[in-house]
Amino acid sequence: MHCANRRIGRREINANAHDLWQLPNGIGSDHDRWSGCGPCRPREIIALRRNTLGYVSQFLRVVPRVSTLDVVSEPLLTTGTPCTQALETAQELLARLNISERLWSLSPTTFSGGEQQRVNIARGFAYPYPALLLDEPTASLDPKNRAIVLAMITEAKARGAAIIGIFHDAAARDEVCDRQLDVGQFTPGTMV
Amino acid sequence: MTPLLQVENVAKFYGARIGCTDVSFNLYPGEVMGVVGESGSGKSTLLNCLAGHLVPDRGAVRFDTRAEGLRDTITMSEPERRMLGRTDWAFVHQHARDGLRMNVSAGGNVGERLMAVNARHYGKIRASAIDWLGRVEITEDWIDDRPTAFSGGMQQRLQIARNLVTGPRLVFMDEPTGGLDVSVQARLLDLLRGLVREIGLSAIIVTHDLAVVRLLADRLMVMKDGHVIEAGLTDQVLDDPQHAYTQLLVSSVLQV
């Protein structure tokens, strides 16, 4: 993956399958998200996001009033999965992430922070993207759900997904990361 | 892949004043483009130039027609352009009244576009009208009522049904959610997202509302004083605005 970033300078990152990266200390790590492929045209990036590059952000941004089940199954529907199958996968993921079934038909905008993050993770993992970007996926989770998310990351690695993640949680980092990158060295002003 | 709409250096002047100038972009099938900017920045002028309602003073607007591929819609004949306007294009006005016939029933409003493309079977026209009213969540028992009896949100949804019934490939929308209450607005956003996903609709949406753009648009163009000052993928522009005006715009959004 070739990265060129407007603010943080240029560098190359080679993310191989099975590699997990850890980018500590906030500086610049958020800005790395979509900075890949500088010269790409918008439509190539749109297609890339739709089919190749999954992204789990820290914040859930959804159309209000849309049910949690529909929010989670949307990435599957956009990639052409039949509706019933997409809903089944969404149900499995939500159940696995301990979102109680009575919440499935409600919009996640009214959920607690931890629930929203789990909905976000379910959405990000619904479609088996070959590459994934995770922005502090375990930040606001209790130990039980944290373990489930880490297991999901490990499974994604096992199926061959390349993952770049931001982890402040040192234990989670050690559990799932194969390589670490300190973005402190890219901080503007300290670059060589 | 051929772009659905190719816009090259489009400019429109009102006397010495700039309406919009130097606008160029390619829109591909299934893409939604948002256009934001303050009042008077040229958003609606641009939209009207693209939709053939205004004749630009400079530039080219090429549309990928079903029969002949890319055609310049500015130089094509009026009948051809009008044909596009009622088949492959749709225009959703800010005020639903501008896009509806207020003295004709809801079913008639939807059916009119079908009849314009030579549908003649009454039963079939009525059936597709019922189908589309259902998709925009207007129940069947409203079909024989005039839009004057509808609420603002229902009128807007009826306008959308009327526009989409002929299966257009490109929809121009001028403030489609302006003046609607937030709950109806949310329902409209969901409807539009579903249509983009299911029928691969492309759309150009002019709006003031950055939240609408964030949820609906893949790409974003920011206009000021008739010029495009920033363009890019929606989240790139909104999360990392480069131009001072875009920064002001993003920082002016009220947080709930």
What does B40-65 look like in DSSP terms, one character per residue? TSSHHHHHHHHTTSS--SEEEEEEEE
Those residues with Cβ within 8 angstroms of residue B160's Cβ, 6 or more apart along the chain or in another chain: B92, B136, B176, B188, B191, B192
With CA atoms as reference, the chain A residue closest to B237 would be A34
Those residues with Cβ within 8 angstroms of residue B16's Cβ, 6 or more apart along the chain or in another chain: none
CB contact under 8 A, B189 and A63: yes
With CA atoms as reference, the chain B residue closest to A44 would be B28
CA pair distance B244, B214, nearest whole angstrom: 19
Pairing of strands A162-166, B202-206: unpaired
Those residues with Cβ within 8 angstroms of residue B38's Cβ, 6 or more apart along the chain or in another chain: B208, B224, B249
Residue of B177, B183, B189, B230 to mutate for A, most A C-beta atoms under 10 A: B189
Number of Cβ within 10 Å of residue A179's Cβ equals: 13
Provide mean pLDDT across the span B100-129: 94
Chain A touched by B29 (CB under 8 Å): no
Chain A touched by B137 (CB under 8 Å): no
Facing residue for B193 by CB, picked from A42, A61, A63: A63
Residue A190 pLDDT grade (very low, low, confident, very high; cuts 50, 70, 90) = low
Nearest to A159 by CA among A131, A123, A120, A118: A131
Nearest to B56 by CA among B4, B7, B13, B6: B13
For B22-72, write each residue's pLDDT tens digit.
999 999 998 999 999 988 899 999 999 999 999 999 999 999 998 889 999
B143 pLDDT higher than 50:
yes
| Listed range (A41-45, A177-181, B223-227) with the worst mean pLDDT | A41-45
CB contact under 8 A, B215 and A63: yes
Mean pLDDT of chain B: 91
Facing residue for A43 by CB, picked from B28, B232, B236: B28
Please say whether the beta carbons of A119 and A68 come within 8 A: yes
Facing residue for A42 by CB, picked from B183, B214, B219: B219
CB contact under 8 A, A34 and B218: no
Please say whether the beta carbons of A177 and A26 come within 8 A: no
CB contact under 8 A, B240 and A7: yes
CA pair distance B170, B167, nearest whole angstrom: 9
Q: Which residues of A touch B1 (CB under 8 A)?
A: 43
pTM passes above 0.90: no
Q: Which residues of A touch B197 (CB under 8 A)?
A: 74, 77-78
For A101-146, write each residue's pLDDT tens digit.
999 999 999 999 899 999 999 999 999 999 999 999 988 899 999 9
Chain A touched by B72 (CB under 8 Å): no
Torsion of CA A166, A171, A172, A175, to 10 degrees: 120
In order of start, what are the domains of chain A with their CATH numbers?
Answer: 1-40 (no CATH), 41-186 (3.40.50.300)
Dig out the tokens for A86 from the structure.
């997409």
| Listed range (A38-47, B141-150, B247-256) with the worst mean pLDDT | A38-47
If one compares B15 and A192, the residue with the highest pLDDT of the two is: B15
ipTM tops the 0.90 cut: no
* Diameter of chain B measured on Cα atoms: 56
* Diameter of chain A measured on Cα atoms: 54
Facing residue for A42 by CB, picked from B190, B215, B233: B233
Dig out the tokens for A154 from the structure.
């490990």
A32, A108, B98 from A63: Cα distances, Å: 25, 10, 27
CA pair distance B24, A2, nearest whole angstrom: 27
CB contact under 8 A, A63 and B28: no
